Structure 1
Amino acid sequence: MDTVMQSGRQDMTEAEWQARCDLAALYRITDHFGWTDTIDTHMTVRIPGEPKCFLINNYGDLFDEITASSLVKMDIDGNVYAKDGKFNAAGFTIHSGVYKARPDANCVMHTHTRAGTGVSVLKKGIRPISQDALSVYDDLVYHEYGMPTSQEECDALGVSCQHGNSVVLRNHGLLTVGATIPGALRRMYMLERACEVEVIARSLDEEPAPIEEDVIRQYGERAKQQRANPEYGMTYWKAALRQIEGKGTDWRQ
């Protein structure tokens, strides 16, 4: 694997540094929401002006330890542009597969939450039984389980993500794709909520109250319009930043 040395912030553009700060914040937000799996799972962002390159967590760091400078820069071919940078092999497979297949994608989130993983093992998955589910239902894709570190899985995931941005990785977990970090985060929040409600509903000894098909369709149309807005998720992103301000070390370093 090729390695290009970077000595620090002076060797990167302002756009890259901002992307690093935003991604580090996303890791802190993910930790705040309780979506971590210790050092596993991963979030990435494509570097502005460098479409083949993205940032990923240094493998081994807890999410509340991640800072802008600790993130690892790599490209979709597997080259690493950082001294002593480590990355999760499955993370590279997942994120490079999406970025190769989706030039419009600039952020990818992947989680192993209990609710998300629980729903991922169900044959029927998420049903349109809650407002949370309707927020993602029209954009929902199911991806069959494959060997996480294989080239076949890399290619297959790219194909799946061409059909939707809220993905249930069967027998595995959840994944969301966004043109922006706030967009990917908002999708993940609603997808996680949909999974939580689904798990709760299945534990009750009663069939869920149905939602009329016409309402499902109308809600889906409205959700699609909201997601098409370039500012999608921004209000929630700013609110989440306020939640993590002052918790532990500053991620912007």
Structure 2
Amino acid sequence: MASRGSVFLRSNRKIILTGSETEEEAIAAAKAPIQIPRFPALKDVHEQRVHMKQKLAAGFRLFAKFGWDEGVAGHMTFRDPEYPDLYWVNYFGQSFSQIRASDLVLCDHSGAIVRGTKTVNKAAFVIHSAIHEGRPDAVCAVHTHSMYGKSFSALGRKLQPITQDSCAFYEDHGLYDDFGGVVYTAEEGEHLKTALGQNKALILRNHGLLTVGQTVDAAIWYFISMERCCKSELIAAAACPNGFDDLKLISHEVALGTRESVGDRQAAHFQFQPMYEQIVKEQPDLLE
């Protein structure tokens, strides 16, 4: 039996696809290197910064495409690769569908604008400054008022391991079981940071979802996946006579093992790439 890793190796079998290639072309094709997905190799902080800004802009465009924008609510941030005490964020009032990489604003943790000429959402500053200060590993943080995330948050409960996808968040998301209004105070930001802990995601009761990641790609993918997991659980519970009590849960051991496969940084990063390529092809101006 072939090893599981053989899918990454070039076969030794010699064939010619009749009608599709010549013998010379077949030989060349058999020698072509296998391209394995890898994290991008960026040569300096400037290239890294541009890359991260483009990824964040793509995230906003995708959220608009999915209908997850809600007026002026919602924000994503990432730490600057050169100045980790500063972070880039969308400016206040700009439609997600129009955000370009060059539109992002650079702020410090006091809320002062370092680069840019537009103001930022005060709630964005309060939430994200607390998260970035409390979680040095959190390069990117994502929060917006998506439909199923905010609907699920009204239940005041965590996601259950009912699908392979939801296992990514098994024992790796928190619940902020309170709602104190729009997040305008530093104290409320501290409460959110405590509730998040060392998890990758947080359900804010009566509010919505928040995710963090070690890359921009991972944080955005976690949000997309978590929103869909909320939708899946709501639909499944609605189809059961006894609601959530009838759901068939994946066992603790299997859920943890599955989380290691589908919920880590590398898996999340690569899950985002097809969506990124799609939205860039559809809306190339986001790279500007």
Which residue number corresponds to residue 179 of structure 1? 214
Which residue number corresponds to residue 137 of structure 2? 104
Superposition pairs of residues 127-146 of structure 1, within 5 angstroms:
127-143=160-176, 144-146=178-180
Distance in 1 between residues matched to 2:69 and 2:132, nearest whole Å: 23
Superposition pairs of residues 90-101 of structure 1, within 5 angstroms:
90-101=123-134
Distance in 2 between residues matched to 1:218 and 1:160, nearest whole Å: 25
Deviation at 1:13, TM superposition (A): 3.4
Which residue number corresponds to residue 273 of structure 2? 238
Which residue number corresponds to residue 18 of structure 1? 51
Give the CA RMSD over aligned residues: 2.0
* Among candidates 218, 223, 248, match of residue 210 of structure 1: 248
Distance in 1 between residues matched to 2:263 and 2:237, nearest whole Å: 29
Higher relative contact order (CA 8 A, sep 6+): 1
Distance in 2 between residues matched to 1:32 and 1:243, nearest whole Å: 11
Q: Helix, strand or coil for the counterpart of 1:176?
A: strand
Which residue number corresponds to residue 163 of structure 1? 198
- Contact kept in structure 1, 2:55 and 2:217, CA below 8 Å: no
- Contact kept in structure 2, 1:126 and 1:195, CA below 8 Å: yes
Which residue number corresponds to residue 188 of structure 2? 153
Q: 1:124 to 1:241 in 2, by over 3 A?
A: closer
Q: Deviations over 1:73-130 (max 9, x none)?
A: 1011211013422100001111111000000100111021121111111133433333
Deviation at 1:131, TM superposition (A): 2.9
Q: 1:226 to 1:128 in 2, by over 3 A?
A: closer
Task: State the one-letter code of the partner of 2:70.
Answer: D
Q: Helix, strand or coil for the counterpart of 2:84?
A: strand
* Among candidates 127, 133, 151, match of residue 118 of structure 1: 151
Distance in 2 between residues matched to 1:152 and 1:171, nearest whole Å: 18
Q: Helix, strand or coil for the counterpart of 2:286?
A: coil
Q: Deviations over 1:191-250 (max 9, x none)?
A: 1121101221332352434225xx333222331355445x23232222011221333451
Distance in 2 between residues matched to 1:150 and 1:87, nearest whole Å: 15
Which residue number corresponds to residue 18 of structure 2? none
Q: Deviations over 1:36-95 (max 9, x none)?
A: 223320111111021111111011111110011111110112110134221000011111
Q: 1:83 to 1:233 in 2, by over 3 A?
A: closer
Q: Which has the larger radius of gyration?
A: 2
Q: 1:236 to 1:21 in 2, by over 3 A?
A: same
Which residue number corresponds to residue 78 of structure 2? 45
Q: Helix, strand or coil for the counterpart of 1:73?
A: strand
Q: TM-score, normalised by structure 1?
A: 0.86
**Which structure 1 residue ranges, 5 or more long, are not aligned?**
1-11
Distance in 1 between residues matched to 2:65 and 2:175, nearest whole Å: 27
- Contact kept in structure 1, 2:149 and 2:209, CA below 8 Å: yes
* Among candidates 220, 227, 242, match of residue 256 of structure 2: 220
Q: Report % sequence identity.
A: 30
Q: 1:227 to 1:130 in 2, by over 3 A?
A: closer
Which residue number corresponds to residue 31 of structure 1? 64
Q: 1:58 to 1:178 in 2, by over 3 A?
A: same
- Contact kept in structure 1, 2:174 and 2:201, CA below 8 Å: yes
More deviation, 88-97/197-206: 197-206
Distance in 1 between residues matched to 2:226 and 2:99, nearest whole Å: 24
Residue-pair matches, total: 239
Which residue number corresponds to residue 4 of structure 1? none
Distance in 1 between residues matched to 2:155 and 2:200, nearest whole Å: 20
